[in-house]
């Protein structure tokens, strides 16, 4: 089963993995910018997300296998690999298992440690959609607002809505499977997993995903890593401060 990806530009392969409930399309603007400086950017939809296939199995091991299959099928090697949140966990695990395929690793606002489940409210909100009744994005936003107060978060989630057919809205993600396996998203990197290559962790200064206690954990798994803090940004740091995010990534790549 093939992953869906939007490929921009040409040059050195640069793979971007989105976070939980996201899709490659969330990275289109930055992806375009990276493609303009000599990279072939692959905005990948991970399984059960975006336009990629739906499957009953959902774990980091599965997502790593999907990525390996995608790279081999497309004859990609010596890649730059960037992952945000859940995508960052996939990227970390991939790099520790297939270090020879990764030239540089970038991880956006996630640590290798375990995170407790914290997506319940969002999943309940998405589950509350009655597509027999919902006939517009505005109505969906109003419904979701009962669960998710933050406008930016709702806009991010509502990107998953599409017109399945005339007058019929649907969600691209495989919501049932993601709800069933939501605990998987918080899983930690295996204890002895290690990647010796060049690694950059980016964290938002308003986010609590990478705290001081994570710095030691990160060094244990990624001895050749550094952490850069992006100002005026929370967990969606690439969307909240794309200029500084872009500059930090490019300076690391150069």
Q: Is the pLDDT of residue 161 over 90?
A: yes
Confirm whether 85 is a catalytic residue. yes
Instruction: Using the CB atoms, write b or e for 191-211: b if 16+ within 10 Å.
Output: eebebebbbbbbbbeebebbe
Instruction: Please tell me whether residue 148 adopts helix, strand or coil conformation.
Output: coil
Q: Which residues contact 238 (CB under 8 A, 6 or more apart)?
A: 27, 30, 84, 108, 245
Q: Is the pLDDT of residue 117 over 90?
A: no
Q: Any idea which of 13-17, 84-88, 164-168, 173-177 has the lowest mean pLDDT?
A: 164-168
Which of 36, 53, 6, 26 lies closest to 152, judged by CA?
Answer: 26
95 in Cβ contact with 238 (< 8 Å): no
Confirm whether 225 is a catalytic residue. no
Residue 129's pLDDT is: 96
216 in Cβ contact with 222 (< 8 Å): no
Q: Measured between alpha carbons, how far is 99 from 83 in angstroms, rounded to an integer?
A: 15
Give me 225's structure tokens: 């890593």
pLDDT band at 119 (very low <50, low <70, confident <90, very high): confident
Question: pLDDT per residue over 178-233, tens digit each?
Answer: 999 999 999 999 999 999 999 999 999 999 999 999 999 999 999 999 999 999 99
Q: Is the pTM of this model over 0.75?
A: yes
Instruction: Please tell me whether residue 151 adopts helix, strand or coil conformation.
Output: helix
Confirm whether 235 is a catalytic residue. yes
Which of 187, 193, 186 lies closest to 221, judged by CA?
Answer: 193
Average pLDDT over residues 61-90: 98
Give me 140's structure tokens: 């969906």
Catalytic residue (choose from 49, 52, 66, 85): 85
Which 8-state DSSP code applies to residue 156? H
User: Alpha helix locations (H) across 45-198?
Assistant: 60-73, 86-97, 120-127, 137-145, 151-158, 175-180, 182-185
Average pLDDT over residues 20-28: 96
φ, ψ for residue 117, nearest 5 deg: -60, 130
Catalytic residue (choose from 176, 205, 247, 251): 176
Q: Measured between alpha carbons, how far is 65 from 93 in angstroms, rounded to an integer?
A: 10
């Amino acid at each position: 089963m093939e992953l869906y990806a939007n490929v921009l530009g040409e040059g050195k392969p640069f793979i971007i993995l989105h976070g939980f409930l996201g899709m490659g399309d969330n990275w289109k603007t930055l992806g375009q910018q990276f493609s303009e400086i000599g990279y072939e950017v692959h905005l990948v939809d991970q399984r059960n997300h975006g336009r990629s296939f739906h499957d009953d199995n959902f774990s980091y091991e599965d997502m790593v296998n999907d990525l390996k299959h995608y790279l081999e099928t497309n004859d990609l090697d010596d890649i730059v690999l960037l992952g945000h949140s859940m995508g960052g966990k996939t990227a970390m695990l991939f790099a520790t298992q297939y270090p020879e395929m990764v030239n540089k690793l970038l991880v956006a606002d996630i640590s290798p440690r375990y995170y407790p489940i914290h997506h319940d409210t969002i999943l309940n909100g998405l589950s509350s959609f009655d597509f027999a009744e919902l006939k517009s994005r505005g109505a969906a936003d109003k419904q979701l607002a009962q669960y998710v107060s933050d406008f930016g978060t709702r806009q991010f989630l509502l990107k998953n809505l599409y017109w399945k057919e005339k007058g019929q809205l649907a969600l691209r993600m495989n919501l049932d499977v993601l709800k069933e396996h939501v605990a998987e998203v918080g899983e930690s990197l295996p204890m002895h997993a290690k990647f010796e290559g060049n690694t950059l962790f980016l964290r938002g200064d308003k986010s609590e995903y990478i705290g001081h206690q994570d710095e030691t954990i990160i060094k244990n798994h990624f001895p050749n890593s550094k952490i850069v803090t992006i100002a005026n940004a929370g967990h969606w740091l690439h969307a909240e401060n794309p200029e500084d995010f872009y500059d930090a990534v490019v300076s690391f790549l150069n």
